[in-house]
Structures are given as structure tokens and as C-alpha cells.
Amino acid sequence: MPQKQEYLSKNQQIVLSIIEKAKGPLKAYSILYNVQKKGIKAPLQVYRALEKLIEIGKIHKIESKNAFIACKNSDCEISKATAFSICNNCEHVKEIKNSKLSKYLSNFEDNSGMKYKKYNLEFFGLCRDCKLKQ
Amino acid sequence: MPQKQEYLSKNQQIVLSIIEKAKGPLKAYSILYNVQKKGIKAPLQVYRALEKLIEIGKIHKIESKNAFIACKNSDCEISKATAFSICNNCEHVKEIKNSKLSKYLSNFEDNSGMKYKKYNLEFFGLCRDCKLKQ
DNA sequence: ATAACAGTGTAATAATATAACAAATATTGT
DNA sequence: ACAATATTTGTTATATTATTACACTGTTAT
Ligand SMILES: [Zn+2]
Ligand SMILES: [Zn+2]
Ligand SMILES: [Zn+2]
Ligand SMILES: [Zn+2]
């Protein structure tokens, strides 16, 4: 099985490394502020890197937050099938790695018999810590 | 079982009626342009109405498109559990009404045993029409 | 070499969403 | 009816998120 080519350009490496170091999802402009000392000056440079990183599955976009998080699952089929849990209180976000869930959704057929190549699922609730504190 | 109070204010009615008439999801500023003749002049008036309509489950936000669509399911528990199919080609969006799916997701427990009150799922693929045309 | 392609830099601008404040209207309790 | 409370509205300004347009650089393939 040939590996997908994953050479990263300079800007892509810079952006990825910021996102990987972060504890949670980062917003595009917060990434921008964080990398200005490294020569990336404009939003577009960040957005272009983000686009590529999403395409190759290194990061995902949390749509409900307009924020970006590093992929922790080696088997996220190039970002085609993603699921996240999001805490409503502390905003903690975690990628869900659950093969039953991903099989269920990948094989899901809607009422007209249609299947889907790609999905994104976002769960909202209280994380364990926040639940205990209540 | 007491009914939830769903009296709508003037602006809320105007915005809802535009969204219900639309064939697909509408963007906030396109709603704004459509209602300017009816006295709504500023984005905030639209966003406030949208917020309320989402809260009471009359409409949903399609997060990946920043667009808003009327709810077609009478039993979307006040927008706590939503699923959509989105065509990558023609942008057609349809709310998925499938009780097996909603039960599965509402009862889903992640690896740490956590359950979630709310979720949003977006499926992407080609709709029937676009598949045939290919 | 030269065409094709992916990436870069920069400026300008578009699109989406919220903050802050003052006023009007509706709802509730007495 | 009246005051107290909560909700909705109107308006201006501003914040946040994302894309267009254009000129340029470097690498790869034939
Ligand atoms: Zn992933
Ligand atoms: Zn939390
Ligand atoms: Zn619905
Ligand atoms: Zn289609």
C-alpha cells in the first residue's frame, strides 16, 4: 500500500507545529499571531496552510467553533470521517476514536438508500471534570 | 404534557417565514437583504431572530456552511439532535429523519463512558440527482 | 528549455458575527 | 391599575473569520 506523500512546505510545517503543541483547538487568527515572529505575516498564508493540512488529514476543523485541531487518530481516512466531543463549559475538545461509531456512520444509509463518503459529527455535553465540579 | 411556548415576535416571524419559504439553507446576510423592505435594517436584528429560532428548534444552523434551514422534523428535540445530508455538487441540504440513527447517537457512549445531550452530524456526498448526472 | 504545478508574499476586501447602549413593548405579580 | 421584570427592538460601531486578485519563486516532468 503506497503511502500518501506528505511533504510539508515551510509554512505548513510552522502552522502544523503550533496546532500540534496546543492543548485545544486554535483559531486561525490566533495561529497568525503566534507565527508572526516566524515570518508568516498575513491571514492568507495561514489559511492556505490550514487548507492543505486538512486535505492531508493532519488537522481537522471544528465547524461549530471555527477552530482547528491536530488529528490524533492515525486512521482518520484523510479527514473523511470525523467525530468530536465538545464540552459546553470549559470548551475542551477531544477527537473520538471509536471504530463501532465510525463503521456505523460510514455504512449508514438514509431513507432513500443513499450512502455518504464523508461525515463530521460534533457531540456537546459536559466533560468529566466539569461534571464533577458541578 | 405542557406545550413549549412558541410565540414569535415580529422580527422572528419575518425571519422564520423567509427561511421556511426557501428551497435550501439561507445565509444571514442574504436573509438580511430579503427582509430590508420589511423594516429589518441591521445584521443584529437578523442574528437575534436566528438565535431565538434555533433555541426553540424552528430552524437549524448548518455549521459547515454558516447557513440556516427550517426544521422539517416535528420531533427534533428542540434542536438537540440534528443530522443533515449535504450534496458536494449542487449544495442541496436535507435534514435526515431516521429514528435508528438518532437513537444510536443519543445513546452513544464514548470510550470513557460519557454520554452527550446534544449532537450535530453532517454527511457529505452526492445527492441522487447529481449522481445520475455524472 | 519550457511547460506544469505547488507554494509564497502582499494588499485589499468580502463575509460572518458581536458589543454597547438607549428605547420600546410585553408579561407578571400585587 | 400599577410597578417591577423580562423580552424585544433600533442603531451605530466594531470584531472576527475568510477570500480575491495579482505578481513572483522554486521544483518537477518531458
Ligand atoms: Zn482525526
Ligand atoms: Zn469541561
Ligand atoms: Zn430538525
Ligand atoms: Zn446534488
The share of chain A scoring above pLDDT 90, in percent, equals 75
Mean pLDDT of A55-74: 94
Tell me: pLDDT of A56 over 50: yes
Position A1 in a domain: no
Mean pLDDT of A72-91: 85
Strand D proximal to B27 Cβ, under 7 A: no
**Residue A125 binned pLDDT confidence (cut-offs 50, 70, 90):** very high
Q: What is the pLDDT of residues A91-124, one digit of tens each?
A: 999 999 999 999 999 999 998 888 998 999 999 9
Higher pLDDT, A14 or A2: A14
Contact between residue B102 and residue A46 where contact means Cβ atoms under 8 Å apart: no
How many domains does chain A divide into?
1
Question: For chain A, how big is the Rg over CA atoms in Å?
Answer: 16
Report residue A5 CA to chain centroid gap.
20
Position B2 in a domain: no
Mean pLDDT of A75-90: 85
H/E stretch holding B87 reads: strand B81-87
Closest by Cα among A75, A63, A54, A67 to A12: A54
Mean pLDDT of A51-79: 90
Q: B109: domain range?
A: 10-133
Strand D proximal to B12 Cβ, under 7 A: yes
Position A85 in a domain: yes
Q: Does B64 contact A64 at a Cβ distance shorter than 8 Å?
A: no
Nucleotide nearest to B55 (CA to C1'): D7
Size of interface A-B (CB pairs under 8 A): 77
Backbone φ, ψ for residue B50 (5° rounding) = -60, -45
Non-local (6+) Cβ contacts of B30 within 8 A are none
Mean model confidence pLDDT for chain A: 91
Q: Does A123 contact B104 at a Cβ distance shorter than 8 Å?
A: no
Three-state helix/strand/coil letters over chain A: CCCCCCCCCHHHHHHHHHHHHCCCCECHHHHHHHHHHHCCCCHHHHHHHHHHHHHCCCEEEEHHHCEEEECCCCCCHHHCEEEEEEECCCCCEEECCCHHHHHHHHCCCCCCCCCCCEEEEEEEECCHHHHHHC
Distance A127 CA to D18 C1' (A): 31
Cell of B20: 421556511
Tell me: pLDDT of A1 over 50: no
CA of A61 to the centre of ligand 4 (A): 23
Q: Which nucleotides of D are covered by protein (CB under 7 A)?
A: 7-13, 16-21
Q: Does B114 contact A104 at a Cβ distance shorter than 8 Å?
A: no
Position A4 in a domain: no
**Residue A77 binned pLDDT confidence (cut-offs 50, 70, 90):** low
Position A33 in a domain: yes
Q: Does B85 contact A115 at a Cβ distance shorter than 8 Å?
A: no
Mind listing the pLDDT tens digit of every residue in chain B (134 residues)? Answer: 233 445 899 999 999 999 999 999 999 999 999 999 999 999 999 999 999 999 999 999 999 999 999 998 876 666 789 999 999 989 999 999 999 999 999 999 998 888 998 999 999 999 888 888 77
Position B4 in a domain: no
Q: What's the rounded Cα separation, in Å, for the pair B59 and A36?
A: 40
Position A2 in a domain: no
Where residue B23 sits, what CATH number does that domain have?
1.10.10.10
- Whole-model pTM: value is 0.93
